[in-house]
Amino acid sequence: MIRKLLQKIPSPFGLPQRKRTTPTVIPASQHSLRRERLSRHAVTVVERLQQAGYQAFAVGGCVRDLLLNIEPKDFDIATSATPEQVRATFRNSRLIGRRFKLAHVHFGREIIEVATFRANHEEETSAEQSRQSESGRLLRDNVYGTFEQDAQRRDFTINALYYDVSSGQIHDFAHGVHDIRNQQIRLIGQPEQRYQEDPVRMLRAVRFAGKLGFEIEPHTAAPIEKLAPLLHDIPAARLFDEVLKLLMSGQGQRTFDLLYEYDLFAPLFPDTDEAIIDRPDYTLQLVRQALTNTDERIAQGKPVTPAFLFAALLWPALPQRVRDLEAQGIPSIPAHQQAAHELLAEQCRHTAIPKRFSIPMREIWDMQPRLARRSGRRADQLLEHPRFRAAYDFLLLRESAGEQTDGLGHWWTLYQDASPDERRRMIRELGSDKSSSPKRSRSRSRRKPRNNAPDA
């Protein structure tokens, strides 16, 4: 298939480790990318920049994905124009930039991101313009450069392809087309150094391998396990964004397996990693099932929320914290509350979970013991709870990982479909069941949550 898409591409002469300054230019007749496949607005931006006398290309993920016949998420443009010059060319543009300055050109709801060519940090001399931390990480990287330099500072060869919408040519500085054809994720330059400059590139390697089903080429893969701890230096907000891209883009399960294989999961979710060591079968089953469900929902176009996924990823780490607190003499219910609070706070030091996700996540957790207490009017009240559906799905997930709940998930499945009469009967039948009796619930509540968290 891919071979068919990329016809007669000239073969490279060696690894792209060696720096090259002239790109291979692949004419339109030798590749499958057609400008009609690009967003109309991306084409407009490139053409207007070219008419204004600048170089401009579609670049990065959109070129890569289109060559693979995948619908791109967005369209990035690289240009020789400075952000201010882009701003002056498009009335409908705004300058943005935290890590570096970019122009956003707005067309209704579509935004085309336009970045000025930037240099690879090795090639510029001014310490002012590009600072590195002690571990070699680039702290600021806002140095404009040439077309060639822009290609060299990109992460992977498959992300350094530039498509000229006017001529139809693809400019390939790093044998990216060859690597697309051979399904390889290959860093440009010296892998260890490129990871030290930006450790997030390790996550990106795994992300593209998972998304595209590619292999991480051996030199690119080799340093990852050793350098994985460098992720601890990355701001937690950036890592949260990366985790969403890794696990909520439709190939979450496969990507998790790769993260785990390359020791990249532990720096992101240290408590869950401990839980995998303690109880591998249960924890891996729960995490992988949660991701499989997420992937299926995405494939079906159903909504997915980070609240549910983070609830699942962290749930196996709760019991150990509860046990530690109980061992200090804290009673079960407050121990559960405190454990949840502390686990979440600790996790936010690694991946900063915004409140709009962490609040519903806690609600999903807090509903778990409540789902067992169904007597009187409680079951109907629970059904009305805005978080019921998520809590019920979460219960089924726990059961699918082997948690013993006495058929609670099945009971709720039946109850939701039951007629009012049947519901009354189901509640009456619970009467003899001590665990759901309102009279006994107070005395039992001390013990109850223990049943709702996975056993040690």
Residues of this chain that interact with ligand ATP (CB under 6 A) are 60-61, 73-74, 76, 154-155, 159-160, 198, 200-201
Is residue 76 annotated as a catalytic residue, yes or no? yes
Min CB(453)–ligand ATP separation in Å:
36
The catalytic position among 65, 155, 172, 198 is: 155
Min CB(439)–ligand ATP separation in Å:
56
Min CB(200)–ligand ATP separation in Å:
5
**Residue 198's binding partner out of Mg ion, ligand ATP, none, with CB under 5 to 8 Å set by partner kind:** ligand ATP
Task: Please report, as a single letter, which amino acid is at residue 228.
Answer: A
* Residues contacting Mg ion: total by CB under 5 A: 1
Closer of 42 and 367 to Mg ion (Cβ): 42
Min CB(195)–ligand ATP separation in Å:
10
Closer of 23 and 61 to ligand ATP (Cβ): 61
Coil vs helix vs strand at 138: strand
- Token pair for 178: 């060859």
What are the b/e assignments for 20-42, b being 16+ CB within 10 Å?
A: beebbebeeebbebebeebbebb
Coil vs helix vs strand at 58: strand
DSSP secondary-structure letter at 47? Answer: H
CB proximity list for 313: less than 8 A, separation 6 or greater: 269, 272, 287, 290
Closer of 245 and 323 to ligand ATP (Cβ): 245
- Token pair for 243: 């985790």
- Token pair for 90: 């498009």
Closer of 76 and 179 to ligand ATP (Cβ): 76
Q: What is each CA distance from 59 to 43, 91, 150, 313, in whole angstroms?
A: 12, 23, 10, 34
Closer of 156 and 265 to ligand ATP (Cβ): 156
Rounded to whole angstroms, the Cα distance separating 105 from 213 reads 32
Q: Which stretch binds Mg ion (CB under 5 A): 58-66, 116-124, 335-343, 384-392?
A: 58-66
Rounded to whole angstroms, the Cα distance separating 115 from 5 reads 28
Q: Which stretch binds Mg ion (CB under 5 A): 34-42, 54-62, 351-359, 446-454?
A: 54-62
Is residue 281 annotated as a catalytic residue, yes or no? no
**Residue 201's binding partner out of Mg ion, ligand ATP, none, with CB under 5 to 8 Å set by partner kind:** ligand ATP
Backbone angles phi, psi at 68, to 5 degrees: -95, 5
Min CB(412)–ligand ATP separation in Å:
38
Task: Please report, as a single letter, which amino acid is at residue 243.
Answer: V
Q: Which stretch binds Mg ion (CB under 5 A): 42-50, 57-65, 190-198, 205-213?
A: 57-65
Closer of 74 and 326 to ligand ATP (Cβ): 74
**Residue 291's binding partner out of ligand ATP, Mg ion, none, with CB under 5 to 8 Å set by partner kind:** none
Min CB(48)–ligand ATP separation in Å:
21
Backbone angles phi, psi at 229, to 5 degrees: -60, -15
Closer of 151 and 427 to Mg ion (Cβ): 151
**Residue 242's binding partner out of ligand ATP, Mg ion, none, with CB under 5 to 8 Å set by partner kind:** none
State which residue has the least CB distance to ligand ATP: 61
**Residue 175's binding partner out of ligand ATP, Mg ion, none, with CB under 5 to 8 Å set by partner kind:** none
Among 16, 23, 61, 369, binds Mg ion (CB under 5 A): 61
CB proximity list for 311: less than 8 A, separation 6 or greater: 361, 364, 365, 394
- Token pair for 232: 């601890």
Neighbours of 406 (CB within 10 A): 12
Instruction: For the chain, give percent helix, strand, coil, nearest 5.
Output: 55, 10, 35
Min CB(157)–ligand ATP separation in Å:
10
Neighbours of 217 (CB within 10 A): 21
Is residue 241 annotated as a catalytic residue, yes or no? no
CB proximity list for 242: less than 8 A, separation 6 or greater: 200, 203, 204, 207
**Which of 207, 115, 103 lies closest to 153, judged by CA?**
115
**Residue 103's binding partner out of Mg ion, ligand ATP, none, with CB under 5 to 8 Å set by partner kind:** none
Catalytic residue ranges: 74, 76, 155
Interface contacts to Mg ion, rule CB under 5 A? 61
